[in-house]
Amino acid sequence: MNISEKECSVCGEPIAGRTDKTFCSAACRVRAHRQRQVESIDVDFEDVSSAKAAPVTGLLPWQEPAPPVAPPLSVVSYQPVSSTFHPGNDYLTRYRAEQAAQEADQKRRHEEALCREVHEHYVQAIEPFLEYEGQRLHVKQLQQLLDVVLDAREDYKQHPRLAQPENVVRQRLNDLWDVAQELRETQQEAQSNFFTGQKARYDLTKKWRKQLRERLLE
């Protein structure tokens, strides 16, 4: 019988005895047997798993149908919803239009009332001035006429149509200035006339008198 030494394939210890021995002891032989059983179970488990993952269809690999391809996602551009389709917008538009119309009407009424008011002040200043033309007036009377004219001129500066170059209101404003100047000059003349009781008179040209009377009409 041949006797040689070699290492155990399980524990690596030297084997003494026959040359056909592969384990040094019975314990190593049992351990090796159990290891082979475990490896066999692992291989069988992998085969079963792969079989479940790839079902058999009976077709060759090149005959297998192609896997379904998911359709590409389409990009939808964002389209904002127009606000004009909102039912409340029509109401809001009408409401704003009505408000604007009411405000414009109120403004027009206010301007018309202001025009009548300042023109009335013009009349209250010009009518006495025309009435007392040619009469000898005392300094105090002249001052009273002058005060009315100056107040009317300040009020007339608020006329809404004064910015219109061709409108007659600008001529009426100039009339009040000219009348005030005429009364000042007459007042100075009266103050210098001590022997006549500080009285003086003013006379208008025919053209100026006619213009003032025409402009009394609104």
- DSSP, residue by residue, 142-202: HHHHHHHHHHHHHHHTT-TTTT-TTSHHHHHHHHHHHHHHHHHHHHHHHHH-TTTTSEE--
Band of the pLDDT at 166, cuts 50, 70, 90? confident
In a domain, 198, yes or no: yes
> pTM here?
0.55
Position 171 pLDDT exceeds 70? yes
| Neighbouring C-alpha atoms within 13 Å toward the C-beta of 204 | 21
114 and 19 in a common domain: no
Specify the higher pLDDT residue, 88 or 177.
177
Vertex 129, ends 125 and 135: CA angle to 5°? 155
Which candidate, 204, 197, 178, 182, places its Cα nearest to that of 140? 197
In a domain, 134, yes or no: yes
116 and 193 in a common domain: yes
Specify the higher pLDDT residue, 157 or 63.
157
Instruction: Count the domains in the chain.
Output: 2
In a domain, 95, yes or no: no
Print the domain residue range for 200. 109-215
* Residue 71, token pair as written in the block: 């359709």
In a domain, 211, yes or no: yes
200 and 114 in a common domain: yes
